[in-house]
Amino acid sequence: MIQVLYGDITKVAVDAVVNAANNSLLGGGGVDGAIHRAGGQAIIDECILIRQKQGGCETGHAVVTTAGNLSARYVIHTVGPVWRGGWEDEAQLLKNAYTSCLDIALEKGVRSIAFPNISTGVYHFPKDEAAHIAIHTVIDYLNAKNVSLDVWFVCFDNENYSIYKRLLTEVGQ
């Protein structure tokens, strides 16, 4: 099941919340800041341990931590690409970010996951193309693996929300 929601991802009741993190894993603004604020110290503590082990997180990859004070069980931190005009493999990297999160979700046996609109904030990925990649990556992945996972796309602005509504209707979701 794929659904779109308008609001704050830290308030969504799911097993796993995805964070649009940065390579350092040390927190930042936007949704990253919101998740760390709401989730508390336990999340950053685990991020620091991961950094010590593997030196952060590469673009398109993902790591998992506790969700701290959030109602979710896990936060899956992924790093989307910075938009640099479309000539630096941004589309593939964004797809990889979604796929890496789904891989971790399956590994952890989660039943529901909420994604923010990765890379569409300060990373400036065009919203329409980002939504297209997000939706098709998730649909193709769930079909290929034949798993049932509740996926929520959580939009924090009207533009993303209406794009997701339209694209999901177009694909019959």
Catalytic residues: 32
Distance CA 55, CA 24 (A): 8
Query: Considering only 46-54, 68-76, 101-109, 149-157, which stretch makes contact with ligand ADP by CB under 6 A?
Result: 149-157
Residue 59 in contact with ligand ADP, rule: CB under 6 A: no
We find the least distance from the C-beta atom of residue 93 to ligand ADP, in angstroms, to be 11
10 versus 99: smaller Cβ distance to ligand ADP: 10
Output the DSSP codes for 15-54: SEEEEE--TT-S--SHHHHHHHHHH-HHHHHHHHHHHHHH
Residue 30 in contact with ligand ADP, rule: CB under 6 A: yes
Which one of residues 63, 76, 121, 161 is an interface residue with ligand ADP (CB under 6 A)?
Answer: 121
Q: Describe the chain by its helix, strand, coil percentages, rounded to 5.
A: 45, 15, 40
Distances 172 to 1, 42, 139, 168, 169 between C-alpha atoms, Å: 11, 39, 11, 6, 5
We find the least distance from the C-beta atom of residue 148 to ligand ADP, in angstroms, to be 24
Enumerate binding residues for ligand ADP (CB under 6 A).
Answer: 8-10, 20, 30-32, 34, 80, 116-123, 154, 156-157, 160
